[in-house]
Every structure is written in structure tokens, then in C-alpha cells.
Amino acid sequence: MSNRRTFIQKAFGLGAGLFAAPRVFADSQSRSSSRGRSTHAGPAFNMPVVTADIGDLPYTMDGNTKVFHLIAEVVKQQISPLKTIDAWGFNGSAPGPTIQVNQGDHVRVVFENRLPEPTSVHWHGFEDTIQNDGMPGISQDPVKPGGRFVYEFNIHQEGTYFYHSHMAMQEMAGMLGAFIMHPKEPYQPHCDKDFLIHLQEYAVLPNNTVPNTMNMEFNWLVFNGKAGPATTPLIVRLGDRVRIRFVNLGMDHHPMHLHGHTFYTTGTEGGRIPEAGWWPGNTVLVGVAQARDVEFVANNPGDWMIHCHLPHHMMNQMSSNVGKMTRTAGMPAGGDMNSGMGMLKGTPGAPMGEDYGPALGRGLGGVGNASDTATTNGPLSQKKAMDAMPEMQHDMGNMQMGQMAPDDIARNANDVPNFPQDAYMEGPMMAMDEMVDRPENYGLRAGWSGFMQGMMTFVRVLPPDKYDEVIARMKQAKRPNDPYASILERA
């Protein structure tokens, strides 16, 4: 009996015989395997949610009560190999660790404030008592530095919920996390993998480490606190049914797009959607303060991108340039990422230092004239570029680190309107495979990391032999508090 029929029968109390006639149900059932079961599903149970790069908050039992210790604190969050920011988060990371409980649980959260100013924790979407809503100055006194507050919940809901500071600037500094309520009756069809991805944006000026919480020129776009290519891919076995829970507690909306598959939106920040209400797509808009759960059968092998489709959210370290980017054969790549795209530092100082050409272009000396497009915007010598980025890849086939291949740029390129664009982000010169190496990246095409930035990662749909190989390497790594632990234990 199909699940769709089962659902409709349950919902409307209909007998099976009725379904022989209306073709519409049969068609909708067979039209996409994405809607169906995985090829190797056993009985349904709640798979723990995996929050890659973040992990879970552990708990202890006090009688029948699950007790969590949640600590607000200043954290060093490495968002990219060359970029660590001073964020505010929980228990060592921003976003904070994921809390997972079951419908029916009694839960206590002992909250401690180690920040230099008052705060509190709001429990987003909870149908609970006002005393536990976490509104500073409204439902409770703000928790002072060094202070504590105890929240208690009887969990009767199910779905993807959040916790976050309700002070807006603190939220923008990273104070957010996920709160999963697993259903008493496991969802059908069973999902073999269940992932969560937080969507966040930070505005961090070049050569700074502190996010500017007022600035809306976001230049670092992150999944679970990591910008591509430092994001950890989602590893799934060919045929798995996969759930991804997107959570957005930021300033922008994010259209999340998956390659190679059609997914169904099966849940929101309000819990599970009855199956009759699921809608298909390959892109789902995750608005601010929303969650979108999507499910699909990973029936198409490959390293498929999953990313926000806003072009500016697929970039790192965006900033206004001084002058257009030059883009010619033999062109050095520019300074290190920390110096920013076009934001210069050097000797004796930016931007007229001896390492640089006359790069003050935009608006000075005539926009669009020949001298404007001819300016350089990076170290003039390749040696300087290599010294600036010692860990970047130095050898890319026929190319050397920091250089475009001769045939990458057309001879008449500078005669073509809109060349070069104000900024470019992707290309072999940005590759850093070694710097972001981890078991989950095993077997990716060499140089892949030069083409992945911002809110981008992979869903790697691996045939059994490749899947086993990657899982074996992940186990071998024996990482403490591995976010993938629940999958590795079962593999």
C-alpha cells in the first residue's frame, strides 16, 4: 500500500477499494521516485539529525528530565581557512550546537550568560508558557553577565525549531541554534539521512575579525558557520531517502537550490506538512525566521551542488573594488583572501605601495576609459602573490598558482563590454583543496575548491563502493564530537 494512499485513507477514513478508480492518485504516486521510498528503507524510526561542522549539545538525565547546559559566550569561529571571526555563539560555536529531543520529553535548559552584557534565550515556535519564552524585559529579567536562567519545557510538538537571542544585534553576531523535536510516530516514508543547514550572513570588513552587526553589505555567507569551500559535504548513499532542514535566522532570504534531483517540501518552522500538501521543486525559498524541510530520494549518482541561488551569496570576501579587476593571461591572483578582493595592503601601505600598480580606478581618472581598465589590482609579481598565499595550490595542471591560463582569456577580451566584471570569485587561482581537505571531500575532482564559495556545498550521492570508502575514511579520522557520529555508528 502506498504511503500516499495510506495517508489519505487515514485522513479521510476511506477504504482501499475506492482507489482503484481515480487515476489521479495512481499518477501522482508514480510520477516521481523522489516522493517515494529509498531503495533500502527498513521500518521507520527517527534518524538523529546531523548538523555538519556544528554537532549536538549533550544532555544528562535528572529522573525523567533531559537537562542541557547552554552557555552564551564569545567564540572564535573559523569560517574559512584564512578567516576566523570573533562571533558570539553558544558552547564554543556560532551557530550553537543542535538540541535534539523527542515529543513527550520533559526538558530543562540551564542557561548561563558569559557575555559582557545581558541576554536571554528565545525558543522560536514553542507553544509553551510565557515564563519560558525568553523575552528580555517582557517575560523575564534579562540574564546579566555571569547570571543563569532555567527554562523548562514539556515537548508536545514535532519538527524543526530554533533557539536564539532575542536581542537583534546579538543574533547577528551568531547567537542562534536549532532545536529538533523528533515525532513520537516516526515520519513516513523513513529517511535514511537527516541533515540540518543553518543559513547565515556576516559583514566583516577586510582585515577585521568582528562582524559588523549593523552593516548590510554581507561579504561572508555561511552554512553551519563555514563558507565554501570549507563547508562539509553531505554524504549519502545512492538510493538513500534524504531530509535536509534549512534554518534561516539571518537578515536575508535564501533560495536554496539542489542539483540533479527534485525534492518535496515536507515541513516548515511549524512542523510536518501532511503529505497531500507537499510541493515539488529544486529550489525552496527559506525566508528569515523560517525553516524548510525538504526530502528526496538520492537516486542520481554524483557530486551535486546545493547552494543559495542569490549570486552574491555564492561569493566570499566581497567588497567594493578600487578600480576594476584586471583579468588577463598571466595575471597575478591578488593578495591573500584576508586582504580582500581589491582592498589593498602593502608597502608602505595601501593602495599606492610599491607592490601595486596605480589601482585607484573607480571614479578617478574617468570611469570606463582605457587607463581605468588597464589598472592592476594585485601584487605585480607572481612571487609576491605566492608569498602572500603560501598554502594556495601552486600547480594546477598547465597553470601555475595565481595565473590564468593563456587560453582562459580571449585576445579581444578588453574590447568586449562588461569585461572584466567588477569582481570575479571563481577560478583555478582560487583553489585550496589541501587547505580544506577532509574525509568527506575524498575523491572530488582536483581543483574543485576554486569554484565553490559562500553558501555552497555538495550532496555527494555515492554508489555503495565509493560510499563505503568515504565512510571508512570518516571513521578512521576519529574526530572528537564528530557531527557525523550517528551515521558512522550505523554504517
Residues in touch with Cu ion (CB under 5 A): 254, 308, 310, 313
- Decide if 340 contacts 346 (C-beta within 8 A): no
Residue with cell 572584466: 420
Name which of 309 and 479 has its Cβ closer to Cu ion.
309
- The cell numbers describing 134, all together, are 525568553
Give dist(CA 368, CA 324) in Å, integer: 9
In whole angstroms, the minimum distance from the beta carbon of 202 to Cu ion comes to 13
Minimum distance, C-beta of residue 254 to Cu ion, in the bound complex (Å)? 3
Cβ closest to Cu ion, residue 171 vs residue 336: 171
Contacting residues for 161 by C-beta, under 8 A, at least 6 apart: 123, 124, 125, 126, 178, 179, 180, 181, 269, 291
What's the min distance (Å) between Cβ of 79 and Cu ion? 15
The set of residues, in sequence order, having a beta carbon less than 8 Å from that of 118 and lying 6+ positions away, is 136, 142, 143, 144, 145, 147
CA distance 189 to 45: 10
332 close to 378: Cβ distance less than 8 angstroms: yes
Q: Of the two residues 205 and 310, which places its CB atom closer to Cu ion in the complex? A: 310
Residue whose CB is less far from Cu ion, 245 or 313? 313
Instruction: Specify the amino acid at residue 131.
Output: Q
Least CB distance from residue 199 to Cu ion, whole Å?
7
Nearest distance, CB of residue 312 and Cu ion, angstroms:
8
C-alpha angle 236/239/240, rounded to 5°? 50
CB nearer Cu ion, residue 246 or residue 458:
246
Q: How many other β-carbons are positioned within 10 Å of the β-carbon of residue 368?
A: 10
Q: How far is the CB of 287 from Cu ion (least distance, A)?
A: 11
What phi-psi label fits residue 13: left (phi over 0), alpha (psi between -120 and 50 degrees) or beta?
Answer: left
Nearer to Cu ion by C-beta: 122 or 313?
313
DSSP 420-436: S-S----SGGG--TTTT
Which residue type does 328 have?
T
Nearer to Cu ion, 248 or 403 (CB): 248
C-beta of 294 vs 431, nearer to Cu ion: 294
Q: In the bound complex, what is the minimum distance in angstroms from residue 319's beta carbon to Cu ion?
A: 18
Give me the least distance between CB of 310 and Cu ion, in Å please: 4
Tell me the closest approach of the beta carbon of residue 275 to Cu ion, in angstroms: 28
Which residue number, 308 or 396, has a Cβ lying nearer to Cu ion?
308
Instruction: Record the cell numbers describing residue 199, joined without a space.
Output: 543559513
For residues 123 and 223, which CB has a smaller minimum distance to Cu ion in the complex? 223
Separation between Cα atoms, residue 200 and residue 403, nearest integer Å: 32
Nearest distance, CB of residue 304 and Cu ion, angstroms: 18
* CA 145 to mean position of chain CA atoms: 30
Amino acid letter, 443: G
Pair 65, 54: CB distance under 8 Å = no
Phi/psi of residue 236, nearest 5 degrees:
-135, 155
Rounded to whole angstroms, the Cα distance separating 179 from 161 reads 5
